[in-house]
Every structure is written in structure tokens, then in C-alpha cells.
Structure 1
């Protein structure tokens, strides 16, 4: 039965390649590219065709004009297939396309196909329910990521034209979206005992790489957001940042458990579990102090308990007899708050931004190795680095 299934799948792939060769070249059709896509998403579940996958990525990097026929062919294949093998290979291929670092890829928007209700039709549901669930959540993540990248690119281009700085609230909202992406990534894992197979492990390799990608972007964002809050943030911004930090503490524990699970099932990228430290308690206390400080100040103003206007500087006598100006006291506290944020690992937005089309990486924080047999370039975070992991995305 298994041999017959493989023979049938190979025959389907051969017929699809023959039909593609007969198509006329146009803005939406490219027979050579279609043949490569079919080979990269074959029915053979025993291996992943890295050679033809890399050829697809080379086409995309050559010129943006090849992106349209690629999406057209991949969408047609995903809509027609009822094989979990073809569907999973198609999603992995799409995942690799996102890492080609081409602006045109980031402007795709939502994916042009839908696998959120995918069901394999070649085996009994009792044997394939785990694969169906895996493909569905994998698709949901890629669809959400694609929409997120598109929205980010549009906002960034508009802000560059207007030469405006990103509002603090928008920066915090983006951090919450990163956390939502992390939640979805943690759900992409095998749930059945019969799923520890080659293709699933290969897909999990891509997922681990993506976790590091989202993780580094979040760390960079939260460090910058905390600095801005300590400088001139208000009560609303501090309260929102506090919510983000509380969720980050929960996610750090979930990430540790997820990496342990991946290591146990044989995912190579998770062989060395990085240290995901909990959120620093000082950061949380400091944000709570900002919120309480603003609230107390408002109460004092309402009760007319303020001594005088800002022009009359208040003097505080210390217990040791020293005299300190109130404004100096505030400035010293502000500096202390800024020092606390240095416990977050800062990733340069321009240097470490695979999401925005930059090939460079910050050597101080991460190292990147790209294998010729990898669909997604692997980002390695040293186990000794002190980094902290912090709704579905709505547009």
C-alpha cells in the first residue's frame, strides 16, 4: 500500500510538470519556474528537495517579476492538493521565500491561498489528524506574518516620507503583535506520536529559526520602548509596557519548555537550549513606580497640595544633613531607571532586521549561519546571552 501510494504521487507530479511545460509564458505563468515548484513540493514524504527549493529562492532574488508567477503556481498547487506532504512542503517553501529579504515579498499581504481548514484525503483521519492540525496552525502563522510584514512596510514608508518618529503607543502595539506571533509559533509542533518523521522535523527546524527571529525583534523593541518611557512616557504607556512585560515573563517559561520538547524529539536547532531569563523584577517595579507616581501627582494637584509652581524650586533636607534640590533628585532617579534597562539585550534595528531586507546581523548579540541545505537561514543565540523573551494580529 505504501509503495502504491508513492508511485501514485510520483505519477501525479510527473503529469503536473508535463502540463506546466505546455503552458504559455505570461506575467502570471512561467513554465520553468512552475516545474521547479512542483519538484520542490513533490508527494515524496521521505525527503525535502533542497536543490529545487534553493532554485526557487534564486528566481525570487533575481527579480521581483518572478514573484507573481511563483505565487500563482504555488497557490494553484495548494488549493488543489489533498496531501499533507504537498501542503507542508508548500508552506515551508513559502516560509523560505519570506526570508529572501526582498521588499516585494514583504508587500504580499495576506497569503493568496487558504489552508486553515486543510484535511488530508489520502489516509484515514485517525492517522492524519495531527498532520492536519500542524498544517493549519502553520498556515495561520505564515498568513499573519505576511499581513504583519505588509502593514509594517506601508507604515514605515509613510513615516520615512513624513520624516516622523514612531509614536510610543504604536511601538508598544507592535511589541504585542510580536508576542502574538510567538504564541502561534509555540503551537506549531507535533501532537501525535506518529508525527516524528523527516518532514515534520524539517518544518520544526524552520519554526525554531523563526522563534529566534521574532525573539530578537521583540528584545530590541522592548529595550527601546522602555528607554522612551523612562524619558518622557506617561501613565498609559507605562501601564501598557507593564502588561507586555508580564506576558513576556510567561512566554519565557513557555519557550524553555518548547525547546526542551523540540530537543527530545530530535530537532537539531534545539540541541542546545538557550537560557531564557525571566523579566527583571526591577523593570516591573520601575514601571509600577511611574504609574503610581503620576497618579499621586494628579491627586496632589486635585487637592491643591502642591507647594508652588515649578518656578519655585523645593528643597529637601536629607537625614544626614545634606540639602538636595527636588529637580536634581528627579533627574538622578531618571538616570537610575535608564541604567536598569541595560539588563535587556539591545539588537540594532538596522543591523539585525531580516524582516526588513537587511543581510547584516549584530555580531555582539547573535551569529548567523546559512547552510546550502537550509530553507530558512539559522540564527544562533548563544546560551550565555542574557536575553528575555517577553490575540491574533488585527489589521
Structure 2
């Protein structure tokens, strides 16, 4: 049903698109990209403009030089908005940018906009605001993580080429990397819609992105632990203490993660419904590994 509020939001998007059309082209400004960003972050909370988002990702994959105008357009959009729908679509768009496997993505580093204190213009939107802040906090941390590890790894997963690179790391580098991954996982688990009134098509799509990210990060943790265990007999005392801490944390995170996925299934998040159960590290296995590490370093 068309409402006065819907008409007002549509007018805002149309006005922004009109302004974008008159944007002078430069290394940091591109009218076509700005228009695509506006369309991808429109005020409509009933749908996601996948076509505009995919167009942006395609530009970035063609050339990393498009990162700059994309981030410039997104920053302009995020700095101006006080509507949680627009903010959430902007964060989902940024999340998608991080999945583009080009070196320029790793150079983003510090995000050029700040939603850590996001406030919606409407009252009584605390739950939506908290959701935006938690999602922003994670993506901000991920940007820093990608920049920190840009010399050691490429965005993707622990596949053949990446496993070979991991073998060249020192044990301390490898363990520090795993600790950072576990920190990211903790932040992901803080992104949680509170209450059924928040749930709509947009939130469910955002949660699909979060669930996929959770499985990706957790699989990296598990694969990383496996790579550590392969090298367990060359470990030192300091590294041994870190390894045990990481194992224990992985076990506790698996429990929290299982509860989180169950919660998402209850909400109707498609990717959670389709996902397999989380495999936990058994306490007996951890104790056995602790004993092996203790024997190795003693």
C-alpha cells in the first residue's frame, strides 16, 4: 500500500539520483556508481535491489580502481542517513564488497564512515539501532583484519594455495591469526535481531549474509587449528599456551554458535535452516591435545 511515508522516501531517493546525475566525473567520483549505490541502498524495507549491488561488485572485480568511487559514494550515503533501512542496506553492500576477491579490498583498512553511534530519526528504534551498530562494528573490524593480513593471505578460504602460504608462517603468526579470527567470530555473534517485530525481508537477507559469514570464519578457525596440530611437535612453550587457549575458546564458541544458529532457524533465516549442525570439539579431545602439547614442550 502506498503511504505518505513511502512517497517521502521515494522522493528522497529520486532527488539523490538526480543529484548523482550531475556529479562531475573524477578518480573518486563516478555518476554511474553513485546512482547504483543509491539504488542499492534505497529506503524500501520490503526488498533488496540485487541488480544494482551485483553491478557494483562486477565493477570492482573488473578493476580495483573502482573501490575508491564506490567507497566515496557509500560514505556520502551513510553519513547523511538517519534511516536504519538505508544504513542496513549500506552495510550489506559493504559486506558484499569484502567478498570481491581483489587486492584493493584489503587496502580499505579504516572505514571512511562511522555508524558506531547510529541513531534513527524516529523514536523507539533502539533494537534496530543496536543491530546497525553491531553489524558496523564487525565490518569495521573485518576491514582492519583484511588490511593486517593482506601480505599473508587473500580473501577467500583455506584452499590449496592458501594452505601452502600458511605453512610458511611462523607458529606465532599462525596462532595470532587464529586469535584474530576468533575475535571476529565473537563480534559476528553479537549481530542479532531482537524480537519478531524487527523481522522483515531486509533483516532476513542481512541475517543470511551473517550466517554465511559465520560458517566461513568458523571453518577457517577449524582449518587453522588443524594446520597448527600438524606442526605441534615443533611448538614452543609460549606457542603451546596460546594453542591450548585457542582450542578451549573454539570449543566454547562452538556451543554459543550452535545456539545462535538455532535462534536464526527459529526466526526463519533461510541459510540457517539449510546449514548443517555445528561440530564441536569434544572435551576429551581437548584434554588429549593438552597432554600432547605438555609432553612436547616439557
Task: Give the TM-score taking structure 1 as reference length.
Answer: 0.69
**Contact 1:235/1:290 (<8 A) preserved:** no
Moved more, 54-63 or 286-295: 286-295
Q: Secondary structure at the match of 1:51?
A: helix
Over the residues paired in the alignment, what is the CA RMSD in angstroms?
2.1
Query: In the TM superposition, what is the alpha-carbon distance from 1:43 to its structure 2 partner?
Result: 0.8
* Deviation readout 1:7-56 (Å, 9 max, x if unpaired): 11111111111111111111011011111110110011111111111111
Is 1:211 aligned to 2:214, yes or no? yes
Q: Cα distance 1:105–1:291, how it changes in 2: closer, same or farther (>3 A)?
A: closer
Match of 1:234 in 2: 236
Match of 1:222 in 2: 225
**Contact 1:57/1:97 (<8 A) preserved:** yes
Is 1:179 aligned to 2:182, yes or no? yes
* Deviation readout 1:221-250 (Å, 9 max, x if unpaired): 100111212x21122222211111111111
* Deviation readout 1:127-148 (Å, 9 max, x if unpaired): x111100000100100101110
Size of the aligned set, in residue pairs, is: 288
Match of 2:34 in 1: 34
Query: In the TM superposition, what is the alpha-carbon distance from 1:96 to its structure 2 partner?
Result: 0.5
Greater relative CO (CA pairs within 8 A, separation 6+): 1
Structure 1 or 2: more strand by fraction: 1
Using the alignment, how far apart are the partners of 2:283 and 2:173 within structure 1?
25
Using the alignment, how far apart are the partners of 2:254 and 2:152 within structure 1?
29
Is 1:50 aligned to 2:55, yes or no? no
Q: Cα distance 1:2–1:177, how it changes in 2: closer, same or farther (>3 A)?
A: farther
Match of 2:76 in 1: 76
**Contact 2:27/2:68 (<8 A) preserved:** yes
**Contact 1:238/1:290 (<8 A) preserved:** no
Using the alignment, how far apart are the partners of 1:278 and 1:42 within structure 2?
40
**Contact 2:65/2:104 (<8 A) preserved:** no
Is 1:147 aligned to 2:149, yes or no? no
Using the alignment, how far apart are the partners of 1:69 and 1:293 within structure 2?
55
Query: In the TM superposition, what is the alpha-carbon distance from 1:278 to its structure 2 partner?
Result: 2.4
Structure 1 or 2: more helix by fraction: 2
Task: Give the TM-score taking structure 2 as reference length.
Answer: 0.91
Query: In the TM superposition, what is the alpha-carbon distance from 1:284 to its structure 2 partner?
Result: 2.2
Match of 2:101 in 1: 101
Match of 1:22 in 2: 22
The correspondence for 1:138, drawn from 132, 135, 139, is 135
Match of 1:315 in 2: none
Structure showing greater Rg: 1
**Contact 2:9/2:43 (<8 A) preserved:** yes
Query: In the TM superposition, what is the alpha-carbon distance from 1:289 to its structure 2 partner?
Result: 2.2
The correspondence for 1:188, drawn from 184, 188, 191, is 191
Query: In the TM superposition, what is the alpha-carbon distance from 1:291 to its structure 2 partner?
Result: 5.2
Using the alignment, how far apart are the partners of 1:293 and 1:56 within structure 2?
53
* Deviation readout 1:78-112 (Å, 9 max, x if unpaired): 01110101100000001011111111112211211
- In structure 2, the gaps of 5 or more residues are 155-161
